Amino acid sequence: MSRDYPESDVQWMDRALTLAARALGRTTPNPAVGACVVSVDGTVVGHGSTEPAGGRHAEVVALDEAGTRASGGTLYCTLEPCAHTGRTGPCTERIVAAGIRRVVAAVEDPDPRVSGRGVTRLREAGIVVDMGLRHTEALRLNLPFFTAVTLGRPYVIAKAATSLDGCVAATPGVRTAITAAPANLRTQQWRARVDAVAVGSGTMLADDPLLTVREVYRERPLARVIFDRRLRTPPTARVFTTLASGPVIIVTAEGEPAARARAEALRATGATLVVGADGSLRDALARLVPLEIQSVLLEGGPELHGAAWRERVVDYVQAFIAPTAFGPGGVRVSPAFAASLPALFDSTVEVCGPDVSIEGYVHRVG
């Protein structure tokens, strides 16, 4: 925070952050934003969250609810208001027209069509603009959006469940249940928030997973991504029976002519094939952004996790450790994944049923 704010400003921005959190998992490719309008006498007269893409931005939702009571008031929003026309009109013009006297925004929008321009437009209209209140909290809420805009790839959450001796399976090629119901539920909650869940072809062959969201509600279809350079995924995989839950995207490298038949067989299942230019995971991830995928839950296996660490594309880690051991015959988790756990920033360690959850940021945020 670059300056001292009165307690009332902090209170209203915290409310805006709560509203933004309600929109998580619903707004891609737009950021999840919260806003509230406070009248001259200190009363909240409008509040809102970003609607799904094509719908109203949070500021407009709040202003629509406030109506004429917004005049002379203060607008609190978790992201700089936009000043350009996209699927909707610029929020800055609605703010000016509503007679807002002051805007308090948490963080600048990284989109080059907006960055700084929203603040400039508001100040040109005579509106007082204060930036930076709850900056870190607002940034963390929208790290997928910021990552996609600034780095050109999705935000990557590496997730693994391991035994006490660091194994992800009891034996090679055999699906192994490791964690109990509470940890499994937390995984489903992560799936409900991200744009895509991803695995490598090895996991597809060993586990034949559905990769769907279960036990929790998800509003949008969930993209399932399979990183499969050699097109080893069989057309009979169970994931292709779940297309009603969301698209199945297979990211592959430029293949030899013999691979064309396998590619056509996979397309016949309804899968979408994305051909990478250079075969790197970083390039493969970048090709997901135009498909409106800004966050990926990378669920494994060890080979895919290893590639993600080598190419430095992991942003957050979620690990579950179960109170069991598989011994020397077990399939080891990626060494880089295991080594990351003690070095995470702002990490949390929690008991999750019989298991332990460890999560945190790979890089310092804010």
Beta bridge pairs of residue 308: none
pLDDT band at 258 (very low <50, low <70, confident <90, very high): low
pLDDT band at 315 (very low <50, low <70, confident <90, very high): very high
Which entry of 51, 59, 65, 124 is annotated as an active-site residue?
A: 59
pLDDT band at 256 (very low <50, low <70, confident <90, very high): low
**Confidence (pLDDT) at 1:** 42
Mean pLDDT of 83-88: 73
| Cβ contacts of 104 within 8 Å, gap of 6 or more | 5, 9, 12, 13, 74, 75, 76, 77, 129, 130, 133
Is 93 marked active-site?
no
**Confidence (pLDDT) at 175:** 85
Higher pLDDT, 242 or 229: 242
Identify the burial level of 53 via C-beta atoms within 10 angstroms of its C-beta, where 0-12 means exposed, 13-18 middle and 19 or more buried: middle
Q: With 60 as the cut, is the pLDDT of residue 49 above it?
A: yes
Higher pLDDT, 2 or 343: 343
| The 248-252 sheet, strands edge to edge | 272-275, 248-252, 223-227, 196-200, 295-298, 155-162, 316-321, 355-361, 345-352
Q: If residue 201 lies in a helix (H) or strand (E), which one and from where to where?
A: helix 201-207
Tokens of 298: 């990378």
